[in-house]
Amino acid sequence: MDLKFADAAKVSDDERAAVDGLLGPAGTGWEGGTERTDEDLRWARGGAAARDRRDLLLPALHAVNDRVGWLSEGALDYICRRLTVPPAEAYGVATFYSMFSVKPRASKVLHVCTDLACAARGGSTALAEGLGPDVAVQPSPCLGLCERAPAALLLQAGAPSRGSAPPAPRGSAPDPAPQSPAGLGVPGGAEYYATAVIAPAGVEAVVSAVNAPQHAPDEPPAAAAVPQAGDPGLVLLKRVGLVDPTSLDDYRANGGYAALRRAFAIGPAAVIREVTDAGLLGRGGAAFPTGRKWQATASQPDHPHYLVCNADESEPGTFKDRVLMEGDPYALIEAMTIAGYAIGAHQGYLYLRGEYPRALERLGNAIARARARGLLGEDVLGQGYAFDIEIRRGAGAYICGEETAIFNSIEGYRGEPRSKPPFPVEKGLFGKPTAVNNVETLVNVLPILTGRAEETKLFCLSGNVGRPGVYELPFGATLRELIELAGPPGAMRAVLLGGAAGSFVRPDELDITLTFEGTRAAGTTLGSGVVLVLGDTVELPRILLRIAEFFRDESCGQCVPCRVGTVRQEEALHRIKDRTGADAADDIVLLREVGRAMRDASICGLGQTAWNAVESAIDRLGAYE
Amino acid sequence: MTVVPLQPPRRLVEFTLDEQPVRVPEGSTILDACRGAGKDIPTLCEGDTLTPKNACRVCVVEVEGARTLAPACSRRAEAGMTVRTDTERARHSRKIVLELLASSTDLSTTPRAAEWIKEYEAKPARFGADAARVNEEPKVDNELYVRDYDKCILCYKCVDACGEQWQNTFAIAVAGRGFDTRISTEHDAPLTDSACVYCGNCIEVCPTGALSFKTEFDMREAGTWDEAAQTETTTVCAYCGVGCNLTLHVQENEIVKVTSPHDNPVTHGNLCIKGRFGYQHVQNRM
Ligand SMILES: Cc1cc2nc3c(=O)[nH]c(=O)nc-3n(C[C@H](O)[C@H](O)[C@H](O)COP(=O)(O)O)c2cc1C
Ligand code: SF4
Ligand code: SF4
Ligand code: SF4
Ligand code: FES
């Protein structure tokens, strides 16, 4: 590599401290240490060993962004020296993610959700009017807080608090976000790192959170998002609200770790068999049989094998994984351990959406406690099986939830999907056999191993319903039954099933059975479990435009049908937002033709599904007629 | 020069291409098979010296049983597969891809673009006068070559050539996301502040003319660029013992650009700054 770095002196003390906090102090002048000695000139570190640290790029970018709020040339350059990454590539990675900025900005950034559920309840950047120059306001795609819409998230960059633990060594580091104790300021007037989730976000709540994020009122407990909490029929959500999500003892007292014991008792092959026999289908959207995926990974001769938990949850209207992780974090840790055991992996990565601070805190805590008690680490439960979990924070890119983009993101590259074949089970993370599973999919494994009666599915209800939240129902319930539970609106215009990549259904189609087959037969999809109910006052064209904007913003830009097609789709929807009939006909033809090519010729599921919802609105709802 | 590399004979794969049985060596792409059978599939991001990124999607074909179309340039032929290259479905996607590209970027120097646009009856203008374009100004920041990203189709070839596939310099990378994606140095710095070593290997692989010799760029601006009046002479670079092949493009007795044959088994069309740009002494007529 022809590495060319800028003047090492450009990095500020804060930026250097942030990077060194993650990577340890710079060893030599070559690495950007403050002095270059004669000794340094006689040798150089490099080669494969240095390049192997590339996967620390994203955590290092986070470290600086958390500390100073943006990524300066000096900071980026220092990171590149430390990790032997070409600066042009690091710049390409930094500019891929919407949570990062390579231009100076205020240390406080307010992400205001302007997506479907929030917009329907007044979510707009107008909430942030008059906040002044010391806060940067950024419109955000769905923040996964739909049950408390409208939502906003404040991130205040600053030093980690004095009390926070030093970063753990490589390999076990859970990439913890620094937590700040309430009411403390860094000497010299600077701030500590802090986050505040503001939902529902009224003007007053936003102003007070911006002024003092460390004093923002606590979020309601995760169980508040589960209207059925405490219902004895719950399987996946049964512990949410019942256990203290920070306490491992409480988890164990409520059935925790029984499934892992059983897994050890029956062995990996039998675990895969039980998961296969249970017919478990992936809950991340593609409904792929989990047992088959595990079997295919387990049987690969190449090693090591990896497990990746996909907790990137960014499909607009989806928040079930967040509720599971915040309300019952140990369940996911246990389930990942079982999955790792089944596929023969010793390292799991939990790729967590960057905008989920509370889930990050809870999972970081759960991993640390499980490790301290021998439930993760060299010898899990004294069974001679080694397994550990590293949390990786996403940084604002829906596409990183795609099963191959997630690998590139973890490895420190741009989160662009890879072409398949080869499939992840063959060549996945770091080019090794990898199983990627959604949070809800994994948590389903616990009742499978401990003998449950019925298979259930989580649904995320939002929009015009009385009690939005996560609902758990056995497969086979109808859409009508589900909406009845949540309190339907007086008059309904439509229901968006499956999220932005899903499709609309009419109020006279509510007898659709909520199974993968039932929705497919009805020409729609369960997707990630989104059920967005729209009352008859909504302006459908605005919703469609918002969906198109979402795909335009989130396209990775790699392939032409999606990169340009999503722009043309948005332009056409913009033109016809106030038109109907013959006035809209030409643009609808255009939309259909572009949509067909996006579906047929795009590289990944994003481009392939970006036209689904709009098409269904035209065909099923008669939008623009 | 023809060199037959020593390697074990490859097994043949048999499949059906446009209703005809074809046999190709294992590992061949559908595109290889098409070319072998004399079929002309349009390609933009595919290049003979690089692993295709299959980003443009203009080469898509229909593989029986597959949910989506497959990029012929990268999908390997498999025994028993049935491939159709000229279906209405495949042609539709090619047409739209051409329309999307031509409505957002300047394809005026992309070889064959105009021909394909005609063949597929693509109408880029139908997206209207307000259709978003990449709108980039040429970057003229050094005396050797120009980057005119208004013509860039984001095929990733320059990045792959500069990076791990050939040059290992990593001076340029893909930055930004979605429609705002651009090829860029770090912080969009001028090339002179980047790691670029001016090998010009990125120019060699650029399929659109977005990257070009400054001589070519200036002559095009002045309206004096005339490919029909140019001769191409392949010779051996005299600077060092590697002995790369140089193809000198000469117009009115002046070297106007230098390329290198891609089928050279040693260099595959790659050069260094001396071979690529160090020709001024040849035309020093004092
Ligand atoms: C654009 C895009 C975004 C996705 N985002 C997610 C996500 O946030 N979480 C998730 O679990 N799966 C997501 N998926 C699906 C994954 O690609 C993959 O199918 C899933 O994680 C596999 O896990 P499962 O078999 O347990 O469902 C996404 C797919 C696409 C195409
Ligand atoms: S379909 Fe869209 S998101 Fe997927 S690879 Fe292509 S440009 Fe990227
Ligand atoms: S001239 Fe060579 S070093 Fe410079 S950008 Fe092109 S390929 Fe890279
Ligand atoms: S500059 Fe040329 S080679 Fe590089 S991505 Fe653009 S079109 Fe491709
Ligand atoms: S030539 Fe095959 S995708 Fe571009």
List strands edge to edge, sheet with B254-259. B230-236, B245-251, B254-259
Q: What amino acid is encoded at A226 in this protein?
A: V
Q: Tell me yes or no: is domain A225-450 CATH 2.40.50.140.
A: no
Which of A564, A576, A606 best probes binding to B when mutated, by most B CB atoms within 10 angstroms? A564
Q: Does residue B170 share a domain with residue B274?
A: yes
Q: Which helix (H) or strand (E) holds A110?
A: strand A108-113
Q: Does residue B30 share a domain with residue B93?
A: yes
Provide the strand spans (E) within A193-284: 194-198
Q: How far is B178 from chain A (nearest CA, A)?
A: 4
Residue B178 lies in a domain: yes
At residue A180, the pLDDT reads: 43
- What residues contact residue A4 under an 8 Å CB cut-off, 6+ apart? A87, B171, B194, B195
Give the phi and the psi of residue A464 in degrees, each rounded to 5: -85, 65
Query: Which of the ligands is closest to the CA of residue A402?
Result: 1
H/E/C letters for each residue in A157-183? CCECCCCCCCCCCCCCCCCCCCCCCCC
Which of B88, B177, B185 best probes binding to A when mutated, by most A CB atoms within 10 angstroms? B177
Q: Which of B132, B159, B189 is the last residue of a domain?
A: B132
List residues bridging with A56 in a β-sheet.
none
Pocket around ligand 4 at a 6 A CB cut-off: B 152-158, 183, 205-208, 210-211
Task: Work out which ligand 2 atom sits closest to the CA atom of B178.
Answer: 7
Give the phi and the psi of residue A331 in degrees, each rounded to 5: -60, -40
List residues bridging with A153 in a β-sheet.
A111, A197
- Which member of B54, B128, B168 has the closest CB to residue A419? B54
At residue B51, the pLDDT reads: 93
- What is the C-alpha separation between A196 and A112, in angstroms, rounded? 12
For strands B60-63 and B82-84, give the pairing.
antiparallel
DSSP B244-263: -EEEEEEETTEEEEEE--TT
Please report how the helices A565-575 and A582-601 are oriented relative to each other, as an axis angle in degrees rounded to 10: 160
- What is the C-alpha separation between B42 and B96, in angstroms, rounded? 13
For chain A, give the number of residues.
Answer: 625
Give the right CATH number for A540-621 from 1.10.3470, 3.90.550, 1.20.1440, 3.30.390.
Answer: 1.20.1440
Q: Which of B100, B132, B164 is the last residue of a domain?
A: B132
- What is the C-alpha separation between A17 and A186, in angstroms, rounded? 14
- What residues contact residue A13 under an 8 Å CB cut-off, 6+ apart? none
At residue B4, the pLDDT reads: 59
Q: How far is B60 from chain A (nearest CA, A)?
A: 7
Q: Does residue B220 share a domain with residue B172?
A: yes
Residue B1 lies in a domain: no
B272 close to ligand 3 (CB < 6 Angstrom): no
Q: Does residue B43 share a domain with residue B158?
A: no
Q: Which helix (H) or strand (E) holds A460?
A: strand A456-463
Which protein residue's CA is at the shortest distance from atom 3 of ligand 3? B196
Q: Mean of the per-residue pLDDT values for chain B? A: 95
List residues bridging with A456 in a β-sheet.
A474
Provide the strand spans (E) within chain B: 12-17, 20-25, 60-63, 70-71, 82-84, 145-147, 173-175, 182-184, 211-213, 230-236, 245-251, 254-259
- Which member of B57, B89, B195 has the closest CB to residue A86? B195
DSSP state of B20: E
Nearest to A69 by CA among A163, A214, A192, A180: A192
DSSP A461-484: EEES-SS-EEEEEETT-BHHHHHH
Using a CB-CB cut-off of 8 Å, the residues of chain B touching A603 are 54-55, 57
Query: How large is the average pLDDT for residues B15-38?
Result: 97
| Lookup: tokens for A18 | 């942030």
Using a CB-CB cut-off of 8 Å, the residues of chain B touching A608 are 68
How far CA A9 is from CA of A28, A211, A544, in Å, comes to: 14, 33, 49
B31 close to ligand 3 (CB < 6 Angstrom): no
Q: Does residue B205 share a domain with residue B90?
A: no
Q: What amino acid is encoded at B217 in this protein?
A: F
Query: Which of the ligands is closest to the CA of residue B270?
Result: 3
Using a CB-CB cut-off of 8 Å, the residues of chain B touching A600 are 60, 68-69, 89, 92-93
Q: Does residue B144 share a domain with residue B106?
A: no
CA torsion, ordered A92, A556, B84, B86, to nearest 10 deg: -90
At residue A176, the pLDDT reads: 46
At residue A8, the pLDDT reads: 67
Q: Does residue B160 share a domain with residue B232?
A: yes
At residue A494, the pLDDT reads: 96
pLDDT digits (tens, 9 = 90+) for B133-176: 999 999 999 999 999 999 999 999 999 999 999 999 999 999 99
Query: How large is the average pLDDT for residues B186-195?
Result: 95
Which of B174, B184, B196 best probes binding to A when mutated, by most A CB atoms within 10 angstroms? B174
List residues bridging with A495 in a β-sheet.
A505, A533
- What is the C-alpha separation between A136 and B1, in angstroms, rounded? 62
pTM recorded for the entire structure:
0.95
Nearest to A444 by CA among A308, A322, A338: A338
Candidate from B45, B48, B155, B204 with most ligand 4 atoms within 8 A of CB, to mutate: B155
Residue B2 lies in a domain: no
A287 close to ligand 1 (CB < 6 Angstrom): no
User: Cα B169–B174–B176 angle (5° rounding)?
Assistant: 145
- What is the C-alpha separation between A550 and A562, in angstroms, rounded? 12
B211: three-class secondary structure by DSSP: strand
Residue B272 lies in a domain: yes
Candidate from A96, A409, A420, A559 with most ligand 2 atoms within 8 A of CB, to mutate: A559
- What is the C-alpha separation between B88 and B76, in angstroms, rounded? 22
Question: Is it the case that residue B28 has pLDDT exceeding 50?
Answer: yes
List residues bridging with B113 in a β-sheet.
none
Residue B87 lies in a domain: yes
Using the beta-carbon criterion (under 8 Å), do A600 and B93 form an inter-chain contact? Answer: yes
At residue A177, the pLDDT reads: 47
- What is the C-alpha separation between A586 and A219, in angstroms, rounded? 48
What are the residue ranges in chain A where pLDDT is below 50?
163-185, 187
Residue B3 lies in a domain: no
For chain B, give the number of residues.
Answer: 286
- What is the C-alpha separation between A418 and A558, in angstroms, rounded? 10
Task: Work out which ligand 3 atom sits closest to the CA atom of B195.
Answer: 3
Give the residue extent of every domain in chain A: 13-96, 108-158+182-218, 225-450, 456-535, 540-621
At residue A182, the pLDDT reads: 41
Residue B161 lies in a domain: yes
Q: Cα of B42 to ligand 5 centre, how many Å?
A: 8
Q: Tell me yes or no: is domain A108-158+182-218 CATH 1.10.287.
A: no
Which of A54, A84, A563 best probes binding to B when mutated, by most B CB atoms within 10 angstroms? A563
- What residues contact residue B211 under an 8 Å CB cut-off, 6+ apart? B145, B146, B147, B148, B158, B202, B203
DSSP A313-335: --STT--HHHHHHHH-HHHHHHH
Which protein residue's CA is at the shortest distance from atom 19 of ligand 1? A286
Using a CB-CB cut-off of 8 Å, the residues of chain A touching B153 are 560
Using the beta-carbon criterion (under 8 Å), do B170 and A89 form an inter-chain contact? Answer: yes
Q: Does residue B123 share a domain with residue B46?
A: yes
Nearest to A621 by CA among A516, A541, A520, A522: A541
**Residue B241 is part of which domain span?**
139-282
Pocket around ligand 2 at a 6 A CB cut-off: A 399, 417, 555-559, 562-563, 602-604, 606-607
Q: Cα of A74 to ligand 3 centre, how many Å?
A: 23
Which protein residue's CA is at the shortest distance from atom 7 of ligand 3? B162
Q: Cα of A418 to ligand 2 centre, how many Å?
A: 10
Q: What amino acid is encoded at A32 in this protein?
A: G
| Lookup: tokens for B144 | 């050797």
Helices (H), A24-169: 38-41, 47-51, 57-68, 73-83, 87-94, 116-120
Using a CB-CB cut-off of 8 Å, the residues of chain A touching B180 are 557
Domains A108-158+182-218 and A456-535 share a fold: no
Neighbours of B191 (CB within 10 A): 18
As a whole number of Å, the CA-based R_g of chain B is 20
At residue A165, the pLDDT reads: 45
A399 close to ligand 1 (CB < 6 Angstrom): yes
Assign residue B265 the CATH number of its domain. 3.30.70.20
Q: How far is A430 from chain B (nearest CA, A)?
A: 16
Query: How large is the average pLDDT for residues B241-259?
Result: 96
Looking up tokens 């256990």 gives: A243
Complex ipTM > 0.85: yes
Q: How far is B171 from chain A (nearest CA, A)?
A: 6
Residue B116 lies in a domain: yes
**CB A425 within 8 Å of CB A372:** no
Nearest to A216 by CA among A198, A242, A239: A198
At residue A452, the pLDDT reads: 75
Determine if the peptide bond prior to A166 is cis (ω within 30°).
no
At residue A451, the pLDDT reads: 87
B167 close to ligand 3 (CB < 6 Angstrom): yes
At residue A17, the pLDDT reads: 95
At residue A183, the pLDDT reads: 40
| Lookup: tokens for B138 | 């040429």
Q: Does residue B275 share a domain with residue B244?
A: yes
**Number of structural domains chain B divides into:** 2
CA torsion, ordered A317, A320, A321, A326, to nearest 10 deg: 120
- Which member of A4, A566, A602 has the closest CB to residue B195? A4
The dihedral built from the CA positions of residue A330, A335, A336 and A337, taken in this order, carries a sign that is positive
Using the beta-carbon criterion (under 8 Å), do A560 and B92 form an inter-chain contact? Answer: no
How far CA A286 is from CA of A405, A425, A531, in Å, comes to: 15, 15, 17
- What residues contact residue A115 under an 8 Å CB cut-off, 6+ apart? A123, A140, A141, A142, A143, A316, A317, A546, A550
DSSP state of B164: T
Q: Which of B107, B132, B157 is the last residue of a domain?
A: B132
**Which residue on chain B is closest to A609 by alpha carbon?**
B68
**Which residue on chain B is closest to A604 by alpha carbon?**
B68
- What residues contact residue B213 under an 8 Å CB cut-off, 6+ apart? B144, B145, B146, B200, B203, B256, B257, B258
Q: Does residue B108 share a domain with residue B150?
A: no
Please report how the helices A612-619 and A540-554 are oriented relative to each other, as an axis angle in degrees rounded to 10: 160
Q: Does residue B143 share a domain with residue B278?
A: yes
Q: Does residue B144 share a domain with residue B128?
A: no
Distance of CA A487 to the CA centre of its chain: 28
**Which residue on chain A is closest to B70 by alpha carbon?**
A601
Using the beta-carbon criterion (under 8 Å), do B181 and A553 form an inter-chain contact? Answer: no
CATH of domain A456-535: 3.10.20.600
Using the beta-carbon criterion (under 8 Å), do B131 and A571 form an inter-chain contact? Answer: yes
Assign residue B71 the CATH number of its domain. 3.10.20.740
Neighbours of A574 (CB within 10 A): 15
Q: Cα of B251 to ligand 1 centre, how many Å?
A: 55
